[in-house]
Amino acid sequence: MLLNIQHISKQYSAESVLENISLTLNENRTLSILGKSGCGKSTLLKIISGLVLQDRGDIILKGKNINMLPANLRHIVYMSQEALLFPHLNVFENIAFGLRIKNEKKAMIETKVNHLITRLGLHGHHQKMPQQLSGGQQQRVNFGRSLIINPPLLLLDEPFGNLDTQTRAEMQQLFKQVAGEFNIASIFVTHDIKEALLMGDNIGYMNNGQLKIYETKKSFISDSITGAQQEISFWQTL
Amino acid sequence: MTLENTLLNSKIVTRLVIVCFLLLVVVPFAAGLMYAILYSVGLIGILSNGFTTSHISGTVQNPEILFSLLYSFYVASCSMLISLVLSLGGVLFFKSSITKGKWSFFSYLPLAAPAIVTAFVSLQVFNKTGVLSRVLYQTNAISDLSQFPDMVNDSLGIGIITTHVLMATPFFLIFFSNIYEAENLKSLSEVAKSLGASSTKVAEKIAIPLLLKKGLNTILLYFIFVIGSYEIPLILGQQSPQMISVLIVRKMQRYNLIDIPQGYFLSIVYSVVVILLIAVFLKSKKPVI
Amino acid sequence: MMKRLKRPIAFLSLLAFSFPFIFLFILSIAKGWNFPNLLPSGYSTERWSGLVQNTGGLLQSLLLSCKIGLVVAIVSTFTGFTISRSISLHSKRKYLLFACYFPLALSPVIYSLLLNHFFLKFNLSGTFMGVVIAQLIITIPFSILLLSSFWNERIRSLEQVSSTLGSNLQQIFFRVLLPVALPQLLICFFQTFLVSWFEYGLTIIIGVGKVQTLTLKVYQYIGEANIFYAALSSCLIVFPPAIFLWINKKYVFSKLN
């Protein structure tokens, strides 16, 4: 078991954002979490990555309690909806960032970054600045920047939410392939039912700060609260 | 380093920095005002003899003080009115071409001259033997220096007002030009015209109200700046009435010790006026810049 | 008709805006300028070449003004950057930023009079450090306001992303925040330099006439009715900002100048 979240709770002022959240995640697996805006999904990811401190509960990574570990030492990368590329660095340097701060050898950085640039379909864009890239290209660079440091766990907070349908579909395919190649475990948060079913090996539903993990995708679809049944009915009646 | 330590450290650092902010920004302001209050009521200072309101009453009863305050408001109001009319007119005429293109450098050039230099130039242009009188003399519009009107060190403050207008107009031209661009006034004007508005109506109902609304904070700050201006009235003003800064400096730097507490009281009055103007009228939703 | 007038009005405006600079330069090289002559009676570069020999103490004033300006600009930019970040994280940030307007709005000469006693008490009156500190009291709130807009949600998110990619606080500051903030820091640097460079009233109160900056020289020559040296000093004051303008207009223009 890679990740074990136990009874995480978080309150902001008098409002409970997360209530007693527990989940487990094995290596090389993707957990999709479906939930509407404001249900606490982003807060959960930020707590796991160490950007926000929980009020109660434990985060166990590879058998170690990492509650007190700062974000930069957890090796858990957080990817948001906006690519948030460093505006002063080009594509190459954005991807290389994580290796540069570790003072890795120049030759090694070049090899790894170039390989990743080709793998992510960004060949020829090495020197471009972020503002010269499309939304989809920016997310690919964001991907590369996250993957290059080989994090055991990747947290994706609606990463394709800003993209058009076709680009979104391409990015979904790309993620599934690359995640498999890099043996990355991930938690993929989305408000889109189709995307949740497509991306995850396991699936959960978050509502009002509470999380329910489903044994199988079938049980997720059968549960009326997820809205999956309504979606299926809609397409069937067309 | 644990997460708790990092967070604590950042909380401690933030608090320390805020304390530095208070020490550098708030404390001097408060200390200056407090010292002025104590001096003006006779509790501290060379002539202090215990609490007294004689300095305050002496100041309040002195007509020179009231005239100075009114004079400062008069100069600021005239300067701002003329500058705003000229700059708004300029922006509506030239639109945003003021700040774009190869000639825009000249629009910004007046900003490179500080008040003291602009005052000096004004002095050389508008005084009795200045550029303007020489032009009028050479063109036979005047035959004698006495025919040239007093434009500096005059009772109406023409020189001071003119110089402030010369400084403020280019500033507001650029300022309003930037707002014109940012608020996409060109497109808004086109929409209005397509709804039947004439150019005059567009200016009256859309452009001018929008520019003034967006620029209100800066207009207020500039107004306050003109009230408190020092270099321009120092060089171009006359002995009486004097603008408030010049009067306060005169009172506090004189050898007549009785003037000093009066000067301090005047500083408090001026500061309170500034604080009230900002507190009441400045919309602090976003920093002005 | 208005469209036809556009070019002539634009030309006249350009002329009006450049006139003071041309006038000052001509006066600075004039041998004499007697009434009713429009132009000077002759020209000489003697005053400009005398600058190198520090005639009238102008070179010394120029260097002193530069020194004060640089110290004030560097310290207030760095301090403003640091403080504005902490203010952006504070729950009372609106009030803290609002407080910055008060020292800014007060006339510098009156503010320096209010604080003069404390400068005298701490033996800072008439000293280089005294003038620098007095100017910082005005330029620091100015730079806080200038740089406060940098600390938005996007920058906060960039910091967070950098953190999860393994950067410590130092790396985030030097590799991410500083380079991204550089354009705004440069604007702040030049604008606080100009606030110091242009300052007269505060300098003469706290400096007691001993700290002879260029602006003090202009006033001194005006008082002596020495218009040629006043013009020369004025040229020295206006040329650096004009150069800043040429490089980047934003270095000189701010809505709070």
Provide the residue ranges of all domains of chain B, joining segments of one domain with +.
1-28, 68-281
Identify whether B241 is preceded by a cis peptide bond (ω within 30 of 0). Answer: yes
Q: pLDDT tens-digit profile of B25-37?
A: 999 999 999 999 9
> What pLDDT, on the 0 to 100 scale, is given for residue B283?
64
Task: Give the Cα separation of C162 and C156 in Å (integer).
Answer: 10
> What pLDDT, on the 0 to 100 scale, is given for residue A228?
83
Closest C-alpha to A170, from A114, A237, A110, A120:
A120
Q: Tokens for A87?
A: 């505006």
Is residue B187's pLDDT more than 90? no
Closest C-alpha to B213, from B180, B249, B168, B253:
B180
User: Strand pairing of A185-190 and A30-35?
Assistant: parallel
Flag whether residue B132 sits within 8 Å of chain C, measured between CB atoms. Answer: no
Is residue A143's pLDDT more than 80? yes
Which residues fall within 8 angstroms of residue C1, CB to CB, at 6 or more apart?
A: none
> What pLDDT, on the 0 to 100 scale, is given for residue B4?
46
Q: Tokens for A136?
A: 């989809």
Q: pLDDT tens-digit profile of A96-141?
A: 998 988 889 999 999 999 999 999 999 999 999 999 999 899 999 9
What's the mean pLDDT when you consider all of chain B?
87
Q: Tokens for C59?
A: 């070179």
Q: pLDDT tens-digit profile of B45-98?
A: 877 788 888 888 888 888 888 899 999 999 999 999 999 999 999 999 887 777
| Average pLDDT value for residue range A77-89 | 88
Identify whether C36 is preceded by a cis peptide bond (ω within 30 of 0). Answer: yes
| Average pLDDT value for residue range A139-149 | 91
CA distance A124 to chain B (A): 34
Helices (H), B142-243: 158-182, 185-194, 199-202, 208-214, 216-227, 231-236
Task: Give the Cα separation of A56 and A18 in Å (integer).
Answer: 10
Neighbours of A, requiring at least 3 CB pairs below 8 Å, are B, C
> What pLDDT, on the 0 to 100 scale, is given for residue B288?
44
- Under an 8 A CB cutoff, do C165 and A76 touch? no
CATH no. of A3-213? 3.40.50.300
Task: Give the Cα separation of B25 and B279 in Å (integer).
Answer: 17
Is residue C162's pLDDT more than 50? yes
| Average pLDDT value for residue range C177-201 | 94
**Rg of the Cα atoms in chain B:** 24
> What pLDDT, on the 0 to 100 scale, is given for residue B243?
94
Class of CATH domain B68-281? mainly alpha
> Contact at 8 Å (CB) between B223 and B171?
no
- Under an 8 A CB cutoff, do C165 and A145 touch? yes
Residues listed for chain A: 238
Q: Report which of residues A6 and B8 the model is more confident about.
A: A6
- Under an 8 A CB cutoff, do A68 and B7 touch? no
Q: pLDDT tens-digit profile of A189-207?
A: 998 898 999 999 999 999 8
| Average pLDDT value for residue range A65-81 | 89
pLDDT band at B6 (very low <50, low <70, confident <90, very high): low
Torsion angle of C-alpha atoms C115, C121, C125, C130, degrees rounded to 10: -70
Task: Give the Cα separation of A146 and A85 in Å (integer).
Answer: 11
Task: Give the Cα separation of C210 and C220 in Å (integer).
Answer: 12
> Contact at 8 Å (CB) between C136 and C76?
yes
Chain C nearest-CA residue for B245: C110
What's the mean pLDDT when you consider all of chain C?
91
Start-to-end Cα distance in chain B:
39
Q: Tokens for C170?
A: 């130092």
Helices (H), chain C: 2-28, 46-50, 58-89, 93-99, 101-105, 108-121, 128-148, 153-164, 169-171, 178-198, 201-207, 214-223, 227-247
Which segment of B188-197, C67-76, C191-200 scores lowest on mean pLDDT? B188-197
> What pLDDT, on the 0 to 100 scale, is given for residue B285?
44
> Contact at 8 Å (CB) between C1 and B102?
no
Strand, coil or helix: A186: strand
> What pLDDT, on the 0 to 100 scale, is given for residue C256?
56
Q: Report which of residues B54 and C24 the model is more confident about.
A: C24
Question: Phi and psi for A57 in degrees, rounded to 5?
Answer: 110, 170
Q: Tokens for A144?
A: 């590369």
- Under an 8 A CB cutoff, do A101 and C161 touch? no
Task: Give the Cα separation of A126 and A116 in Å (integer).
Answer: 11
Chain C nearest-CA residue for A154: C164
What pTM, to 2 d.p., does this model score?
A: 0.85
Is residue C26's pLDDT more than 70? yes
pLDDT band at C214 (very low <50, low <70, confident <90, very high): very high
Question: Phi and psi for A18 in degrees, rounded to 5?
Answer: -130, 135
Question: Phi and psi for A160 in degrees, rounded to 5?
Answer: -105, 10
> What pLDDT, on the 0 to 100 scale, is given for residue A12?
85
pLDDT band at C110 (very low <50, low <70, confident <90, very high): very high
Class of CATH domain C56-228? mainly alpha
CA distance C251 to chain A (A): 20
Q: Tokens for A44?
A: 């959960």
> Contact at 8 Å (CB) between C102 and C140?
no
What's the mean pLDDT when you consider all of chain A?
90
> What pLDDT, on the 0 to 100 scale, is given for residue B211?
92
Which segment of A69-73, B216-220, B251-255, C46-50 scores lowest on mean pLDDT? B251-255
Flag whether residue C152 sits within 8 Å of chain A, measured between CB atoms. Answer: no
> What pLDDT, on the 0 to 100 scale, is given for residue C249?
78
